Amino acid sequence: MDSLAASAEQALKRWELENNITDAIYFYDEAKHAKIQQQKPWVKEPHYFKRVKISALALLKMVVHARSGGTIEIMGLMQGKVDGDTIIVMDAFALPVEGTETRVNAQADAYEYMVEYSQTNKQAGRLENVVGWYHSHPGYGCWLSGIDCSTQMLNQQFQEPFLAVVIDPTRTVSAGKVEIGAFRTYPEGYKPPSEPVSEYQTIPLNKIEDFGVHCKQYYSLDVTYFKSSLDNHLLDLLWNKYWVNTLSSSPLLANRDYVAGQISDLAEKLDQAETQLHSRLGSLPSRKKE
């Protein structure tokens, strides 16, 4: 019986480690971070950071904030630390700025907010630094637009280490899985080695140019999540109250407008494709008769 219990415990520990349920990650080592800040290993290699670990809390906060904005883009900052080639995001907070396509930099009072918030947080026991920013693209996918690219390039020059995260709350709700992407830009003039093709996502017609022009200037990082053991325990118990919501929720009902919008966008794309086809291969119909 003892050996059985011991092996069960080992299996549990292994599972915990694999599934990132560790509490050690919450410890903030001041000295270690000061050293990393001095060394700056990311300066030499543009592709240095490869992975992102987001805490359960940060994810929930970002998704809820993004969804609360409705169709308006929102933005906020993330706090965390760096560990080797992984950026760890522990927490996120919202910024009081209106998101518009013409915004290049958050305005002055947003900076003031950020400074004050970081100060009060440090007092309350959250010691991490700001390690990135996030914003939402409601309905049109997770990628960096031209403005986003230039903002991020600026950030990566002066506020390293910095990460850009994009969330699409509309697609999250309609697809039933979290639509999130983490990106870092390449510095000016750097030619990236050819990357494996990432998962295909549909971009609405009016944004497709913006997407295409800049899509080679940044690369995406792998996103994984972690939670504490207490979080895990609470979430398990939460499920006991949650199952009703799971059954009663219907993604179709919740997202009617979005689905209708997507279908009409698709129709437009097909129209465009058709006109292109006719202009290029005008001789095609006659061939088939032979």
Partner 1 sequence: MASESTPSSASGLTFKLHPLVILNISDHYTRVKSQSHGAPVSNSNGASASIPSPLPRVFGCVIGIQRGRTVEIFNSFELLYDDSTNSLDRIFLEKKQELYKKVFPNFYILGWYSTGSDAQESDMQIHRALMDINESPVYVLLNPAINHAHKDLPVTIYESELHVIDGIPQLIFVRSSYTIETVEAERISVDHVAHLKPSDGGSAATQLAAHLTGIHSAIKMLNSRIKVLHQYLLAMQKGDIPYENSLVRQVSSLLRRLPAIESGKFQDDFLMEYNDTLLVTYLAMITNCSSTMNELVDKFNIAYDRHGRRGGRARLHESYGL
Q: Which of residues 173-232 bind partner 1 (CB under 8 A)?
A: 173, 176-178, 180, 199, 222-225, 227-232
Q: Is 5 near partner 1 (CB under 8 A)?
A: no
Q: Which residues contact 236 (CB under 8 A, 6 or more apart)?
A: none
Binders in 9-68 for partner 1, by CB under 8 A = 13, 16, 19-20, 22-28, 55-57, 59-61, 63-64, 66-67
Question: Whose Cβ is closer to partner 1: residue 76's or residue 161's?
Answer: 76
Q: Is 78 near partner 1 (CB under 8 A)?
A: no
Q: Is 172 near partner 1 (CB under 8 A)?
A: yes
Binders in 243-262 for partner 1, by CB under 8 A = 243-247, 249, 251-252, 254, 259
Cβ 25 to partner 1 shortest distance, Å = 8
Piece of the chain touching partner 1 by CB under 8 A; list 43-51, 115-123, 151-159, 205-213: 115-123
Q: Each residue of 236-256: b (16+ CB within 10 Å) or e?
A: eeeeeeeeeeeeeeeeeeebe
Amino acid letter for position 212: G
Number of residues that bind partner 1 (CB under 8 A): 80
For 233-287, give the DSSP string. Answer: HHHHHHHHHHHHHHHH--HHHHTHHHHHHHHHHHHHHHHHHHHHHHHH-TTHHHH
- SS3 (DSSP) at 158: helix
Q: Please say whether the beta carbons of 180 and 165 come within 8 A.
A: yes
Tokens of 99: 């998101």
Binders in 85-104 for partner 1, by CB under 8 A = 91, 93-96
Q: Could you say which DSSP state residue 128 is in?
A: P
Question: Whose Cβ is closer to partner 1: residue 1's or residue 253's?
Answer: 253
